[in-house]
Amino acid sequence: MTDNAMSPTPPYKMGTIVRLTSFAPQRLRAWEHRYDLLRPCRGEGGHRLYSEEDLRVLCAVREFLGTGRTIGEINRIGRDAILDGTARPRGGRTRTTAAFQRVAAEDIPLKADTLVSRLVKATLAMDESELQRVLDQAFSTLSAEVAIDRVIAASLRRIGNLWAGGLCTISSEHLATRIFTHRVRTLFEQEASANLSRKPRFLCGCFPQERHELGILALSYSLALRKARVTVLGSEVPLPDLERACRATAPEAVLLSVSDDALYFEHKAELLELSSRIGLHTRIVLGGAGIPAGDTDLSGAGVTVIACSDSLGQTAESLLADIRGHAASARKPKSKRRQLGP
Ligand code: B12
């Protein structure tokens, strides 16, 4: 007897593989027909028997789906590459992520708009199950960053406009925001825990009195996905506390989000003072809808402003390039640095 319920050994029957992977039998059968990831053989009665390799592939598939990859994208990595990656785990994590990075450009299905309409409708109806269902669909058919940009943020913009026009209640908006934030926070925590000893390190939070925290959380996720070490401080961070946090953790950069220009102007002088004290070691980067364009006081004080972009991935890439460029020029010997300057 090989497929023992207590400590199963291969080949695994359907019931065992379902228990070990939590994938439903219908899903496994559908994947077997559509993709070349699973290769169960047949027992005497014609029932499926899964090998140890099939189990490893399914564990990797679960991991990829958790980071927002679609099954079609995972299939493009290929069974062999996945097995290759999972055969040599590094630090307890499979190498499939690296293999995945090489997969060509994503197809972004046009279904994002439909998902947004369904989410807005479910928000207005306070239909929690539908909200969860649509999000499940978004995250299983789009990559996580695309789902956040095109589905979650787009829905929130519409919900915000409906609220401003008196057409969406605060309860509905709070319900949707809570569910959306939970999804993004879960993705962030999954990625962040693997990067605790890495560089660069970012401290991410919101301006004093700023309660809109989903934007900075989403950006934190994108940075963590690119192997940056990110500490999220959350909403309404008082600037004296931020300064203490910088002294305690010596980050390469502090990222601050502000969605309202009134808040920005209220705390601007205090921010510039803070920058003059910590700016030599730590970059201060501002983003969000509340930063007025072309404020020369900021660049003069060494504060970087990143313009809002529709793509989380692009914003994260340009931040990382900026920080790495800054670190590289800071490492150059003084004489060389002088040659480059005016
Ligand atoms: C959810 C929400 C709330 C929630 C926030 C809960 C939470 N935990 O986050 C609550 C209920 C608390 C709230 C409160 C208020 N809100 Co509100 N809210 C929203 C809503 C619907 C969604 C915001 C959101 O999460 N968007 C999704 C994220 C992903 O997008 P994002 O924040 O723009 O971030 C992206 C970029 O800006 C950028 N980014 C953001 N930060 C940073 C930082 C850096 C360094 C970089 C590089 C990039 C970057 O990257 C992100 C990803 O692309 C918006 C509607 C909208 N149009 O956005 C209104 C909205 C922002 N709120 C608004 C208002 C008026 C308010 C209140 C004043 C209402 C009131 N009278 O109390 C208060 C203010 C509270 C405060 N002091 O902060 C207005 C703002 C109008 C303005 N300033 O011009 C909006 C636009 C609604 C509207 N259409 O009128 N709100």
Q: Write down the mean pLDDT value for the chain.
A: 84
- Cα distance between residue 143 and residue 153, in whole Å: 14
Q: Is the pLDDT of residue 136 over 90?
A: yes
- C-beta of 313 in contact with ligand 1 (< 6 A): no
Please identify, by atom number, the ligand 1 atom nearest to the C-alpha of residue 310.
53
Domains assigned to the chain? 12-101 (1.10.1660.10), 112-190 (1.10.1240.10), 196-331 (3.40.50.280)
**pLDDT tens for residues 189-242?**
999 988 888 888 999 999 999 999 999 999 999 999 988 999 999 999 999 999
Full 3-state SS string of 2-45: CCCCCCCCCCEEHHHHHHHHCCCHHHHHHHHHHCCCCCCEECCC
Residues linked to residue 304 through DSSP beta bridges, in sequence order: 285
Percent of the chain at pLDDT exceeding 70: 84
Q: Is the pLDDT of residue 167 over 70?
A: yes
**pLDDT tens for residues 240-294?**
999 999 999 999 999 999 999 999 999 999 999 999 888 777 999 999 999 888 7
Please identify, by atom number, the ligand 1 atom nearest to the C-alpha of residue 177.
1
- Cα distance between residue 191 and residue 60, in whole Å: 15
Q: What is the pLDDT of residue 75?
A: 85
Residue 331: pLDDT band by 50, 70, 90 thresholds? low
Please identify, by atom number, the ligand 1 atom nearest to the C-alpha of residue 285.
45
Instruction: Answer with the residue of higher pLDDT: 69 or 211.
Output: 211
- C-beta of 213 in contact with ligand 1 (< 6 A): yes
- C-beta of 285 in contact with ligand 1 (< 6 A): yes
Residue 328: pLDDT band by 50, 70, 90 thresholds? low
Ligand 1: residue of 252, 259, 311 to mutate (most ligand atoms within 8 A of CB) is: 259
Q: Give the residue, by CA position, lying nearest to ligand 1 atom 11.
A: 174
Q: What is the pLDDT of residue 86?
A: 63
- Mean pLDDT of all residues in 291-311: 82
Instruction: Answer with the residue of higher pLDDT: 269 or 142.
Output: 269
Q: What is the pLDDT of residue 6?
A: 56
- C-beta of 164 in contact with ligand 1 (< 6 A): yes
Count of C-beta atoms within a 10 Å radius of residue 92: 6
Q: What is the pLDDT of residue 76?
A: 81
Look at strands 48-50 and 12-13 and give their pairing. Answer: antiparallel
Q: How many Å lie between the centroid of ligand 1 and the Cα of residue 171?
A: 16
- C-beta of 181 in contact with ligand 1 (< 6 A): yes
Q: What is the pLDDT of residue 297?
A: 87
Q: Is the pLDDT of residue 88 over 80?
A: no
Q: How many Å lie between the centroid of ligand 1 and the Cα of residue 77?
A: 37
Residue 329: pLDDT band by 50, 70, 90 thresholds? low
Percent of the chain at pLDDT exceeding 90: 52
CB distance 215 to 224 below 8 Å = no
Residue 340: pLDDT band by 50, 70, 90 thresholds? very low
CA angle 134, 138, 143 (to 5 degrees): 165
- Cα distance between residue 84 and residue 78, in whole Å: 10
Residue 78: pLDDT band by 50, 70, 90 thresholds? confident
- C-beta of 215 in contact with ligand 1 (< 6 A): yes
Residue 127: pLDDT band by 50, 70, 90 thresholds? very high
